[in-house]
Amino acid sequence: MIRFFLPDRREASVFSMDFKREYERGVRGIIFDIDNTLVPQDAPVDEKVRRLFDDLKRDGLSTCLISNNGEGRVREFAEQLGSHFVPNAAKPSRKAYRKAMEVMGTNESDTLFIGDQLLTDIFGAKRTGIESILVDPVDPASDLKRIRFKRKIERFILRRGKEKPSSEEKGLEKI
């Protein structure tokens, strides 16, 4: 069961990723979380994020921001980047991930999800069948108290995920 919370890959940051390589391997749409994936919690768009999204568009990649934040924050952020968006996502619900693919014109096989939290971001992407990448939080100090608590659980999950599955878990994987 723990595998549903584990990302397909880990990266230090969205800013260190090779998105041209992602395009070459067939990715056409990228779904991003906002807070602590692109900017610190509740921070506005900055120049670094603007350049990233300009590069993604130039490279032929469609983008969509999904966030559990309300429409005001998400719309303003997305409009500044020329990106699609889905506010009030209720992650890890699959609905927002599916809506993001719909507006980008992509599907599970050519979409990539990038976020900083296992229990919402990665779990939702895995449930939807989308390749997921976990990035380190941009600014962990900006996390809300409830998120800091969830990060402790996430560290436990990541440690457990590095261990070999028990014989009982191996049997469950065959079912």
Structural domains present in the chain: 2-174 (3.40.50.1000)
Q: Report d(CA 82, CA 72) in Å as an integer.
A: 15
CB distance 126 to 4 below 8 Å: yes
Tens of pLDDT, residue by residue over 73-116, are: 999 999 999 999 999 999 999 999 999 999 999 999 999 999 99
What local confidence, expressed as pLDDT, does residue 167 receive?
Answer: 39
> Which residues make beta-bridge pairs with 111?
29
Q: What are phi and psi of 147, to 5 degrees?
A: -75, -35
Specify which residues 86 forms β-bridges with. 66
Residues 140-159 pLDDT 10s? 666 556 666 676 667 766 67
